[in-house]
Amino acid sequence: FNRITEQSNTYIDLLVGNHDMADQGMQHHSLHWMKAFNFGNRLKDGPFRVIDHPLHNSHNLADPFSYLPYTEDKAVIEKFFAECGDVCFMHQGVAKVPMGSGFLIDEILTPDMIPDHVKHVFTGHYHQHNRVSDKLTIIGSTMQHNWSDTGDDRGYVWYDTETGDIELVDVGAPRFTTLNMDGRGSCDWSYNDNLKNKYIRVQDYNSTMKDEIREGLMGEGGALSVEFVPKVPGFTRLDLSGTKGSFHLPTLVEEYTKQQDIDDDRSKVGKELMK
């Protein structure tokens, strides 16, 4: 970020999200320290802007931008849209759109809340990139975080304010992938570009050659890490579309045990581990 701002008159706007907040009143959040980077740049008020309150048309652009940090108050969103510019950035979940894990949470933002004059709304909060509607895009994270993200495209979003075109730009970040070896102990790692810069999970391998496989994958193959699993366990996503309330871990666990018909003894073990 600092290199970008040193080479150009570029603003980097940091929109406060739910995981940045210490309290709903925004009196304390984890992005305050970024203001310390506002030096050595040609912009009068510094390149980094920490946005912890609704902000409208601060750049004086032809297409006014508006920003809204995370909120759990629907009235705040409605007031924001009543005053917003042509392009909006929010840290907000979207109703009836599941998170990457499959959880459906009772979010308050819906596409029909977006005013007619708004060209596009970009939201954060979720990790998966998702074009929800013609006027609403969940940007997603810039990289994969764990094995459940396998196969997901991640990166930055490039938005053309004149044409309205939106492009997801891959930044070449490491990815998670599974390699099925069909019982083999080796292969020509150097010709498999799918292994480079990846976290590899190996299945159906020759168990007597684990050291050789790891050496080949991380050497010629260029993998970042290697783990061996006899079989990746399947999982069933939990459907919470009919539930009420917020994301509450004990409630989710209770619902999961019911849907999966988990016996009481196994359930007790899991609950003890959560303590």
Give the single-character DSSP code of 234. Answer: P
- Per the CB < 8 A criterion, the answer to whether 120 and 135 are in contact is yes
What lies within 8 Å, CB to CB, of 22 at 6+ separation is 28, 29, 30
Give the residue among 105, 103, 84, 87 at the shortest CA–CA distance from 95: 105
Q: What is the pTM of this model?
A: 0.74
**Residue 38 in tokens:** 């506002």
Q: pLDDT digits over 19-51, tens only?
A: 888 777 767 788 888 777 665 555 566 677 888
How much is the pLDDT for 67?
94
Look-up of token digits 């980077």: 37
Handedness of CA 196, 199, 203, 205 (dihedral sign): positive
How much is the pLDDT for 86?
92
Q: pLDDT digits over 130-174, tens only?
A: 999 999 999 999 999 988 888 888 999 999 988 999 999 998 899
Other beta carbons less than 10 A from residue 47's beta carbon: 22
How much is the pLDDT for 225?
94
How much is the pLDDT for 168?
93
Residues of the chain with pLDDT under 50: 245
How much is the pLDDT for 19?
84
SS3 147: helix
Q: Is 140 left (phi over 0), alpha (psi -120 to 50) or beta?
A: left
Look-up of token digits 């969940």: 138
**Residue 149 in tokens:** 């993200």
- For 15-46, letters b (16+ CB in 10 Å) and e give bbbbebbeeeeeeebebeeeeeeeeebeeeeb
Give the residue among 259, 260, 256, 261 at the shortest CA–CA distance from 271: 256
What structural domains and CATH numbers belong to the chain? 2-169 (3.60.21.10), 175-228 (no CATH), 249-275 (no CATH)
- Per the CB < 8 A criterion, the answer to whether 90 and 122 are in contact is yes
- How many helical (H) and strand (E) elements, i.e. helices and strands, does the chain have? 5, 13
Other beta carbons less than 10 A from residue 224's beta carbon: 15
How much is the pLDDT for 76?
95
What does residue 209 show for φ and ψ, rounded to 5 degrees? -125, 30
